[in-house]
A and B are shown apart, each in its own frame.
Chain A
Amino acid sequence: MKISFLALCLTLLFLVPVNAQVATTPYGGTLKVGWITEADTLNPYVTVTIQSFNVFSLTYDTLGKYDQNMRVVPWLASSWDISPDGSIWTFHLVKNATWSDGVPLTAADVKFTYDFVTLNKIGTAASYVAGIQSVQAPDNYTVVITRTPPLTAGFDGTLAYPAFPVLPQHVWEKIAPDQILKFENIPIVGSGPFLFDQWKRGEFLSLKANPNYWHGRPYLDGVIFRVFKSFDTMLASLKTGEIDVIPTEVPALTASSLTSDPNIKVTTSPDYYTRIFTPNDNMNGTGNPALRDARVRRAMQYAMDKNLLAQTVQLGLADVAVSYIPPAYGIWHNPNVQPYPFNLTTAAQLLQAAGYTDPQHTGVRSNAKGVKLEFNYWVLNRWPEEMRAASQVQQWFAQVGIKLNVQATDGDTITAYNYPVWKYDIYFWGWRVGPDINRRLWVLTTDSVTAQWSASGWSNSTYDQLYDKQLHTLDPDQRKTIIWQMQDLIQQESPEIPFYHMKNIAAYRIDKFAGFISMTEGILSEINIGSWLSVHLITPEQATTTTGMTTTTTAPDNTPWIVAAVALVIAVAAIGYTAMRRRTASKD
């Protein structure tokens, strides 16, 4: 008894200093994040922006999460057991999770989340419930998911991506089936570390800390996502401290000019984000029919020097894309895909072989049916660097007899002409669907065309078959072989021509907040919940217990303008005075 009491005291002695260290990480502060793209909607079944996923990752929970090595580890489910054949997954939920309106989160909510999709046939979430036979909730904190053979690979990924979070049954069951896609979902009722505060479209979206979060409240008091119309304003705000972080899409040229500021850190991380030259491959579309011919697309590949573009336009901060799948996908990325070397002569020969000639030297090739190689090329107006690239592509194409009409436009226009009308020639776009390789491969399937997610409208039965095969191949090596094969096929058919795999470039101030954790997709992405929960104010002095927009921005020094204004007034008065005096003094 005495010894154990002594042991207890000693243990307590050890514990106290550790606790004291943990207690010095201050709570408080509102992190201000800059967005150049705004979330489109907060309805998880309707949204297409990754910014919405960002908000979901903070206001909802998923059963698992990605750790820094991109492995799916327990989260809302504190553990799970998998039956030997892999068909039965039993999840054990944490017991203290609650919804933001106070209702406790139970297994019924998880069951509801899956059943809701199946019952209402919600197309955009279909891949998350694919192959699931049933979801049972035998007690309040146990969920049993039974999957039908043949089992699909990558099931664990569906547990960890915030596009498919656990939804509150008591909120969503009240929605009539035809209203589901129109549901605004504001305010969000979620179980996540942050609570939805307000959203003023075009200006900002704010979240407050959830004091009852099952994992412990976050250090931050709140987060404000501030929307900017142009990058230079956002950059200026970062420099003055009006915002603290730009988590993604810092343009390469600007990143280099930021590195000289001692208070700002620029980080690059691998990313799943590719910028892609996207022709209209849809057979039922009204784009230029020449683009439906893979020979023409291959010729275009030879006519572009992606290395030069990655160097000059992205300042070497992006990886040249050979395979359609970025290297960030690890073993699924095929490094042996045959590249198309830059060769204008080969490009011209291929076009000739495909029947496009220019006997009268007009500069534009056409074929026997009169189809001219003249394409409208749309580039997003918020990517000026890609417009520069476009003018170079235009030059190269002109040398092989293709006329490219470059136009700057916005994302909504592109979407409006994309599906379901397929009424465009070529546009330049970016694909970013997160760590799930299935999702990334899915966007080139025929299914994605019907689901209105495909960017190019391409449809190829071999690809579809391979997709289905890899989906049901559980052995990683065999699956890898198939996925590598798919990448070769993509390269061969070139339905979409990736230019570069972007790195995530983020910039953040280091004079106010600390605790940013870097992983794939950057410091504050939709999968980096660890970083969000770790970011905190630097010194205790700046901590505050009040919520809301506490700011640590020092008031800008306004003396220069006051001085200048006064000087100006004096100058004008002086001019006026001397002018009047000169008038009286001078003779005509």
Chain B
Amino acid sequence: MGLVQYALRRVIPALITFLAVIFLNFLLFHAMPGNPFALLLRDPRMPPEMRAKLAHAYGLDAPLQVQLLYYIQNVFSGNLGISLVYKVPVTVLVSERLVNTLILVTPATILSIVIGTAIGTLAGWKRGGKFESGALLSSMFVYSLPAFWLGMVFIMFFAVMMGWFPTSGITSYGMQYEGPLAYLSDLGAHLFLPTIVLTLVLLGQYAIIMRSSVVDVLAQDYILTAKAKGFEETKIIRDHVFKNALLPLVTLIGLNIGLIVGGAIQTETVFSYPGIGRLVFESLATRDYTVLEGAFLAISVSVIVANLITDLFYAYLDPRVRH
């Protein structure tokens, strides 16, 4: 079938997952006994007219099923409530922070994929050698590092002791920049350490996956055929091994986006980077449940969308899966 038809078919499970997340959110925040919304009614920060508004919008006096419908309706109309702490709409807060997170996560993911796949391919190609064991062991070690700890160590050495980088934030506060270059330079200085940390933490799994993928492909018959035919090694790698080994990697990248999220949350917390990961942590600490709920929803949606994209990319690369 065509790519478009396949895409449409994949959208439906994604939508189901989205609804499942909404339901999960509802369960956690509205339905569980001792749930936050029950606490909200007693929250001293809640102005009375807001309480009435919320009670009406969420139908807090209505039976649970009705509340669920209210919630679904709210989500689809883009109303995620108001932050208890910041007193601004949750959607505004969440989108600001999401952009910041993307600025951090995108270069880190790209770098980690590039470096990880390179190491993994090489390790898979040179099976049985010292390089393979060494690369595998170091990839596993890096994969085992807690992201928050790596961040702490980097801050301690490079920011505090050496003073080469700022210790936190996204830009220096209250700065007036002479021009866009100065702004970018400040931004870069703040982004450097967190990006390195996130890259390191992610590349391990890509290297490991790529290696086993390459090993799998190398065992296939068509490779032996190509070798028997006397093709050059680089040609074999480029034309056959790499592309075919990439396929499972793409799927696995999609499934492991959760790891990227986890890494981002930890990195942002340690570096006080104002992204959506840190928002989860902050809103938890301040019991800002409307924001927490909204942030979780936003993260889940991003992951679902990213997953969908990788699915489609996989289908684009390998037409065989389209039915």
A residues with a Cβ closer than 8 A to B are 32, 40, 182, 201-202, 224, 226, 229-230, 232-233, 236-237, 240, 242-243, 381, 410, 412-413, 415-416, 421, 549, 551, 553, 555-556, 558, 560-562, 564-565, 568, 572, 575-576, 579-580, 583-584, 586, 588
Contact = CB atoms under 8 A, between A and B. Distances in A.
B86 interface: yes
A556 B174 contact: no
A562 B176 contact: no
Interface stretch (B52-60, B139-147, B280-288): B280-288
B173 A416 contact: no
9 contacts: A182-B48, A202-B85, A226-B173, A229-B282, A556-B189, A560-B165, A561-B189, A562-B188, A588-B227
B125 A551 contact: no
B87 interface: yes
Given A561-B165, A580-B234, A40 B185 contact: no
A72 B234 CA distance: 87
B164 A561 contact: yes
B188 A416 contact: no
Given A237-B173, A415-B44, A583 B185 contact: no
B221 interface: no
B272 interface: yes
Nearest to B121: A579
B232 interface: yes
A561 B286 CA distance: 34
Contacts of A236: 166-168
A412 B43 contact: yes
Contacts of A558: 185-186, 188-189
Contacts of A575: 115, 118
A242 B86 contact: no
B169 A576 contact: no
B87 A583 contact: no
B24 interface: no
Given A416-B44, A549-B176, A410 B285 contact: yes
B175 interface: yes
Contact of B172 (A230, A410, A415, A553): A553
A262 to B, nearest CB: 15
B152 to A, nearest CB: 11
Interface string B197-234: 00000000000000000000000000000010000111
B45 interface: yes
Contacts of B237: 583
B199 to A, nearest CB: 9
A588 B127 CA distance: 10
Interface residues of B, number: 47
B285 A224 contact: no
A202 B282 CA distance: 11
B42 interface: yes
B66 interface: no
A324 to B, nearest CB: 26
Contact of B285 (A40, A381, A580, A583): A381
A413 B287 contact: yes
Given A201-B88, A237-B173, A561-B189, 15 more contacts: A40-B45, A182-B47, A229-B272, A233-B167, A233-B168, A233-B272, A381-B285, A410-B286, A551-B175, A551-B176, A555-B182, A556-B172, A562-B188, A583-B125, A584-B232
B43 A416 contact: yes
Nearest to A560: B164
Interface in B36-89: 39, 42-45, 47-49, 85-88
Contacts of A560: 164-165, 189
Interface string B176-194: 1000001001101100100
A555 B175 contact: yes
A561 B192 contact: yes
A556 B43 contact: no
Contacts of B125: 583
B48 to A, nearest CB: 7
A551 B174 contact: yes
The 3 closest A-B pairs by CB, nearest first: A560-B164, A236-B167, A561-B192
A412 B286 contact: yes
B255 interface: no
A25 B274 CA distance: 39
A575 B227 CA distance: 26
Contacts of B49: 182
A549 B237 CA distance: 58
B181 to A, nearest CB: 10
Nearest to B88: A201
B162 to A, nearest CB: 8
B92 interface: no
A415 B49 CA distance: 20
A555 B172 CA distance: 9
A416 B39 contact: yes
B135 to A, nearest CB: 11
A224 B233 contact: no
Nearest to B162: A560
Contacts of A572: 111, 114-115
B106 to A, nearest CB: 15
Interface string B119-149: 0001001100000000000000000000000
A153 B72 CA distance: 60
Nearest to A230: B272
B174 A553 contact: yes
A155 to B, nearest CB: 31
Contacts of B122: 579, 583
A242 B287 contact: no
Nearest to A568: B196
Contacts of B115: 572, 575
B308 to A, nearest CB: 30
A562 B287 contact: no
Contact of A32 (B174, B188, B196): B174
Contacts of B85: 201-202
Contacts of B164: 560-561, 564
Nearest to A381: B285
